[in-house]
Structure 1
Amino acid sequence: MEPLLIFLYSCVMTPLGRLISWLGVRVASLRAQCLGRFLSKSEREVLREQCHGRRTFLVFASSAGEYEQALPLVKRFEADHPDLLPVLIFFSESGVTFAKSQGESRLFCKAPWDDYFAWRLLLKAIEPQFTIVVRYELWPNFLYQAKSYGPVYLVNGVESPRVSRNRLVRLVKRRLIAGIDRIFVVGSRDQDFFLETLGASREQIVVTGDTKYDRVRERAEERQAKLSDIQGRLNQSWPRRNCFILGSAWHKDVQLGFDSFKKCGKTQQWRLIVAPHDISSDMLAWVESQAKACDIQLCKFTQLDQLASHHDGILVDVIGVLPELYGCAELAMVGGAMHHRVHNVLEPAVRGLYLCFGPLYHTSKEAEALVSEQLAKVVTNSKELTDWWQSLSIDVGDRFEQLVEHVNRMTGASDRIKDEIEKRTKISG
């Protein structure tokens, strides 16, 4: 963006960001999201010392999902360029929380609000050779400052119906996109969106696929030991039976899943795993009350030492274990698509589970692909779920191999993106 526009934008955004932070830390529900937005001088000095003498690159991710999408790319750069140091910046507090839960040892922090001076000081401490933005985080002051250090790349670019519908958002995005050096899009439909709706040039765009597929396969391989540990703990107390998992479940998903489990799962002696998307105490208490009403006995994941044969299922009350828990099941329903939008369908897909989700799945290209190839079932109520469930003939440990083959066929985006960045960036000592 032009310096004059940046100046005018900053005259509004800088004091607004400071005001939001000042008010936010005084409101309990907003405090976690607002704390840590502005690094102190001493914190910046620590970051500067950690980056001193190292060539660095910056990865800007919104939250946990974008962080996971960036990891295959980060690991490839680390493997081929051991002296290149990645620094991860999250916009969302949930991204920071997830990184901590995964034991992330790389440098990471929370992004400031889009404050000209805050970004200037932060990037001065890092001095990135290049910047990778994962999917969404395009902010004027951030991009303006990042461009002064090196090229900026957008990865996993996808079309956005909201941008297409909103004229003002579209105009702003067109200006921001103009400053991106390369846009790595998932597919041809996304390429058309960036060309026709956002006015990108053909030279800017490269169709590479989605790094999600690389990450989900690599994580399954990396976490095999953790999966084996969880399976061993379950098998100590639970007779091995078929298992149905509700992953990233919201209220409607839980109600639908419990209803079908009561009609179908319990009669066939299936086991149940319930992993709410929100693991707040209120949500966990609500799930337990719904289970009690359906005569379903649950044991919390954090109390697996108390798991006994009379328990029908497990209530997951920690984050970071859902991908491994999918490996303990044969049948999965991915939540979110009954009320808003579907969550990650690739985690159960890479495990080869028989898979279903609700009707609001069109925000996920991966879900659309699975439905179009008849590799996943769309259900709108408990009767449809129950009928589909009863139509399946699944033995313990059965896997839907066509689903695994589909995921494997879609991998390779990370290598393509890395090769393109190396061609266009001077990564040298």
Structure 2
Amino acid sequence: MNLIYNIIIHITHFILKCGALFNDKLKKGVIGRKNTFKILTECLEKTDKTLWFHCASLGEYEQGLPVFEELKKHYKAHKIVLSFFSPSGYEIRKNAPIADAIVYLPIDTKKNAKKFLNIVNPELTIFVKYDIWPHFLNELKKRNLRAILISAVFRKNQTYFKFYGKPLRQSLFAFEHIFTQNEASKTLLQTLNYNHVTVSGDTRFDRVSNQLSLNNTLSFVEAFKSNKLCVVAGSTWPEDETLLIDFINLKASKDVKFIIAPHNIKKAQIKTIQEKLTVESILFSEKDTKNLESAQVFIIDTIGILSKIYSYSDIAYVGGAIGKTGLHNTLEPAVFGVPIIIGSHHQKFPEAQTMIDNGGMFSISNQNEFNTILKELIHNKEKRFSAGYRNSGYIKNNKGAVVQIVNYLRI
């Protein structure tokens, strides 16, 4: 293994431990990794057959879940180990029913990789999208253990394709097969002489499509909406909330309702939103004690229900791209056939550009642009319905990645 890579890993580990002294999120990850091997030894017996699923964070978990669920149906005698690198995935899904043991992935050292695989010894390993860890993957390869990568996306500016990217390039060959989201990713892999590739598309399309078969009823949202047009703003950051608050305070008719589901639900951030609003607002945590129908803005100070809330939207705004934090999941509202507004920093999200090109999504870069498109979608029913129809069609036309992956595994 490349000496420079090992040095970088140890430096990264040191930085994480130092950062944990000042950052609660990093602290959770550092403490959680100390418990990984304890959790594994408590949950697994040496005689257990296992599957190992690894996700960087929550988004990758949601992406991989439809595949995980299919595998669980077919490998009923196996125990499932689910690992996360990020606290934002682990802390939210640490009790997910899909797995028997849910842990933080240990730091990628040769010692940790051997110890982890000595306990887990997975019959099949699935990594989702990225988060490629050379020591773990090379150890899987040495032991002749099966591994595949699903929903992968590659870009030519990534480390794999740089002169210094040899450790990551080599680790890709631990995967017996890679399922990519697009043809461009397959072509890039072929420049590395990696040819066991299938363009299957993005498993997120299957994931969000499953939402349509669930019961999405939320009585408190029905009470709040009260047959009025509803704009749902999901996974917002402060820069997104500034746009929304300005529009609500100065431009919005009382006949339009707004639901804001911030990415950060800390009390200070929620309080800031409420204090800046000049119209009546209500929090999810107050819904049982206040009049929902009289409020114009409903602020969701909880997690886990945004997918269902989108089913009540007439127009959706998805946060993260007006700043540079990263665009959140636009497929969740798209599946319900609604037009979507996002910020302009969406270059790393090909599905966003496709929906923009299709006429179902609208990208804005400032307050005036936001006000203009939102007012148009509110008042132009035909445009609103047409854009929404294009988005739902886009989802329907791109399902099927899960079937291809499962068929490859011959289950």
Match of 1:301 in 2: 284
Give 1:184's match in structure 2, choosing from 175, 179, 182: 179
Q: Within 5 Å, give how 1:162-311 maps onto structure 2.
A: 162-163=157-158, 167-168=162-163, 170-196=165-191, 199-202=192-195, 204-222=196-214, 224=215, 227-228=216-217, 230=218, 232-236=219-223, 239-265=226-252, 267-291=253-277, 295-308=278-291, 309-311=293-295
1:269–1:111 distance in 2 versus 1, CA, 3 Å: same
Cα contact 1:296–1:313 (8 A) shared by 2: yes
Give 2:339's match in structure 1, choosing from 354, 361, 365: 354
Task: Indicate whether 1:378 and 2:374 are aligned.
Answer: no
Alpha-carbon distance in structure 2 between the residues aligned to 1:200 and 1:322: 42
1:183 Cα deviation from its structure 2 partner: 1.2
Residues 48-90 of structure 1: CA deviation (Å, up to 9, x unaligned): 23xx444211111000000011111111112233223321110
- Which residue identity lines up with residue 283 of structure 1 in the other structure? Q
Alpha-carbon distance in structure 2 between the residues aligned to 1:376 and 1:21: 38
Match of 1:156 in 2: 151
1:343–1:18 distance in 2 versus 1, CA, 3 Å: closer
Give 1:320's match in structure 2, choosing from 304, 311, 325: 304
Which is further off, 79-88 or 96-105?
96-105
Match of 2:404 in 1: 416
Alpha-carbon distance in structure 1 between the residues aligned to 2:273 and 2:321: 18
Question: Alignment length, in residue pairs?
Answer: 403
Cα contact 1:129–1:149 (8 A) shared by 2: no
1:238–1:101 distance in 2 versus 1, CA, 3 Å: farther
1:138–1:24 distance in 2 versus 1, CA, 3 Å: same
1:193 Cα deviation from its structure 2 partner: 2.1
1:123 Cα deviation from its structure 2 partner: 1.8
1:41 Cα deviation from its structure 2 partner: 6.0
3-state SS of the aligned residue for 1:35? helix
- Which residue identity lines up with residue 286 of structure 2 in the other structure? Q
Cα contact 1:10–1:115 (8 A) shared by 2: no
Task: Indicate whether 1:387 and 2:381 are aligned.
Answer: no
3-state SS of the aligned residue for 2:44? helix
Alpha-carbon distance in structure 1 between the residues aligned to 2:66 and 2:164: 31
Structure 2's unaligned 5+ residue stretches are none
- Which residue identity lines up with residue 416 of structure 1 in the other structure? Q
Given the two structures, how large is their TM-score scaled by the length of structure 2? 0.89
Match of 2:394 in 1: 406
Alpha-carbon distance in structure 2 between the residues aligned to 1:165 and 1:153: 17
3-state SS of the aligned residue for 2:312? coil
Alpha-carbon distance in structure 2 between the residues aligned to 1:88 and 1:126: 11
Cα contact 1:209–1:410 (8 A) shared by 2: yes
Identity %: 23
1:350–1:106 distance in 2 versus 1, CA, 3 Å: farther
1:165 Cα deviation from its structure 2 partner: 10
Residues 143-184 of structure 1: CA deviation (Å, up to 9, x unaligned): 122222512211111123541798355444322223322111
Alpha-carbon distance in structure 2 between the residues aligned to 1:212 and 1:310: 36
Match of 1:45 in 2: 41
1:330 Cα deviation from its structure 2 partner: 0.7
Cα contact 2:358–2:390 (8 A) shared by 1: no
- Which residue identity lines up with residue 322 of structure 1 in the other structure? L
Alpha-carbon distance in structure 2 between the residues aligned to 1:101 and 1:43: 13
- Which residue identity lines up with residue 34 of structure 1 in the other structure? V
3-state SS of the aligned residue for 1:137? coil
1:17 Cα deviation from its structure 2 partner: 6.6
- Which residue identity lines up with residue 310 of structure 2 in the other structure? Y
- Which residue identity lines up with residue 87 of structure 1 in the other structure? V
- Which residue identity lines up with residue 346 of structure 2 in the other structure? Y
Alpha-carbon distance in structure 1 between the residues aligned to 2:335 and 2:17: 44
Cα contact 2:149–2:179 (8 A) shared by 1: yes
1:14–1:366 distance in 2 versus 1, CA, 3 Å: closer
Task: Indicate whether 1:80 and 2:79 are aligned.
Answer: no
Cα contact 2:159–2:168 (8 A) shared by 1: no
Residues 95-118 of structure 1: CA deviation (Å, up to 9, x unaligned): 111214766554211111112222
